[in-house]
Amino acid sequence: MARPHVMGRDLTAAGIQPSERFSDYLALAHTLRLSGVDKAEALKQILAVERKDRRKTLSKQ
């Protein structure tokens, strides 16, 4: 199995706090890796999804 480009430590270094959605972000990283997306672009896409999720959560409060 190919080693993941983006790992948990990359997500935490980018400012994503471990949460109940953290495993979803890692699963997305794996999917992007299998699709041939490079690490920088994958991280960019994951951060965009995390920001969207955070906004949804804040709007529900």
Q: How confident is the model at residue 61 (pLDDT cuts 50, 70, 90)?
A: confident
pLDDT at 60: 82
User: How wide is the angle at C-alpha 20 spanned by C-alphas 14 and 29, nearest 5°?
Assistant: 50
How far is the CA of 33 from the CAs of 6, 19, 28, in angstroms?
Answer: 8, 22, 9
Question: Is pLDDT above 70 for 7?
Answer: yes
Tally helices (H) and strands (E) across the chain: 3, 0
**What is the per-residue pLDDT across 27-54, written as a single tens digit (0 to 9) for each?**
999 999 999 999 999 999 999 999 999 9
